[in-house]
């Protein structure tokens, strides 16, 4: 079927299968459990591997092992589970291994609740684990993008030998929408040449331990050069009615869809409002943000958190124009009406 009505969580697995993902290792947690459910349903009939690990810590270390063997692999979780995976993610980044990690954000901190939130931005975008590493972070805002950006994530992970996140709020994970697969070319699974293949003629070695400080520093400098290339080449975004906008709204995930409606309502009232939506949270599209600074008078960042993306926007803007913030927490989703009211006050 070229099109299906799917939850965003199921769309992730369809995208992963088309991308040639060989193995899924996971542990269920609301609101991400349907990803493991879909993997359990679709992976074995396709000749792929599904393992429900005994814990989140076990699952990320299984990913480490499979990635080290040179196969495309993935895991998924939500906030508390992602927290438990952080040490493993640091090891994977240090060993320069490609993998895909999906985080369907829920309310926090602690156990919080199972409602949608965007409070995982800091731990995912800033690294979360120990050391000086970075992960590419895609931010889908639809079931279609849950599929497409997961598919893309595997290529990006392999290209840079680096872990890649797909970061979505619980709303996007649970929402059902039509997903079109016709533009995605199925990729045949294959082992990558640099992997540890466990054969007599395979001399490959993968690790993340460098006991000599100078050797570890050289490894870190190599990683920083890789991250610089990622920043230069991999930032993606979407603009909506920004060309003449005095006020530009900024948001990702379900928030960006609400903001798009706010832009339309504001335009109907004669206000010059636009939307900038980062599709990668790291790297952020710094050049585009700076370009918008040159034409807009003010930014308004809207998040389902205490304000996390807004910190990075302010660092980029460097005080050239005001950057306002509006946030909801606890699993509350901002409405078009409440953001529109703020927009009118700022315009």
pLDDT in tens, the chain (347 residues): 689 999 999 999 999 999 999 999 999 999 999 999 999 999 999 999 999 999 999 999 999 999 999 999 999 999 999 999 999 999 999 999 999 999 999 999 999 999 999 999 999 999 899 999 999 999 999 999 999 999 999 999 999 999 999 999 999 999 999 999 999 999 999 888 899 988 888 778 899 999 999 999 999 999 999 999 999 999 999 999 999 999 999 999 999 999 999 999 999 999 999 999 999 999 999 999 999 999 999 999 999 999 999 999 999 999 999 999 999 999 999 999 999 999 999 99
CA distance 298 to 314: 11
Q: Is the pTM of this model over 0.95?
A: yes
Query: 219 φ, ψ to 5°?
Result: -65, -45
CA distance 237 to 251: 11
Domain annotation for the chain: domains and CATH numbers: 3-233 (3.40.50.970), 238-346 (3.40.50.920)
CA distance 297 to 322: 8
Nearest residue to 160 (alpha-carbon basis) of 53, 283, 252, 266 = 283
Instruction: Provide the 10 A C-beta neighbour count for residue 56.
Output: 23
């Amino acid at each position: 079927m070229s099109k299906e009505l799917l939850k965003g969580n199921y769309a992730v697995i369809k995208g992963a299968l088309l991308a040639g993902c060989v193995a899924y290792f996971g542990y269920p947690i609301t609101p991400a459990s349907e990803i493991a459910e879909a993997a359990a349903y679709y992976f074995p009939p396709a000749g792929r591997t599904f393992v429900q690990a005994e814990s989140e810590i076990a699952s990320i270390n299984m990913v480490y092992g499979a990635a080290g063997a040179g196969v495309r692999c993935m895991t998924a979780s939500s906030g508390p589970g992602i927290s438990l995976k952080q040490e493993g993610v640091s090891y994977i980044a240090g060993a320069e291994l490609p993998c895909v990690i999906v985080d369907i954000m829920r309310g926090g901190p602690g156990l919080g609740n199972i409602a949608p939130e965007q409070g995982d931005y800091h731990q995912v975008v800033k690294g979360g684990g120990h050391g000086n590493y970075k992960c590419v972070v895609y931010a889908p805002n639809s079931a279609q993008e849950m599929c497409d950006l997961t598919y893309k994530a595997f290529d990006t992970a392999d290209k840079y030998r680096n872990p890649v996140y797909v970061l979505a709020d619980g709303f996007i994970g649970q929402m059902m929408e039509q997903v079109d697969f016709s533009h995605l070319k199925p990729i045949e699974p294959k082992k990558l040449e640099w992997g540890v293949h466990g054969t007599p003629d395979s001399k490959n070695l993968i690790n993340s331990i460098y006991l000599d400080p100078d050797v570890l520093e050289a490894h870190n400098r190599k990683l920083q050069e890789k991250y610089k290339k990622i920043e230069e080449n991999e930032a993606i975004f979407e603009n909506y009615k920004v060309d003449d906008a005095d006020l530009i709204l900024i948001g990702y995930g379900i928030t960006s869809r609400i903001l798009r409606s706010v832009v339309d309502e504001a335009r109907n009232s004669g206000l010059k409002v636009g939307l900038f939506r980062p599709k990668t949270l790291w790297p952020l599209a710094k050049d585009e943000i700076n370009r918008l600074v040159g034409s807009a008078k003010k930014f308004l960042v809207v998040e389902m958190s205490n304000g996390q993306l807004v910190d990075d926007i302010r660092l980029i803007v460097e005080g050239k124009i005001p950057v306002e913030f509006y946030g909801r927490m606890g699993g509350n989703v901002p409405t078009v009406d409440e953001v529109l009211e703020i927009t009118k006050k700022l315009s």
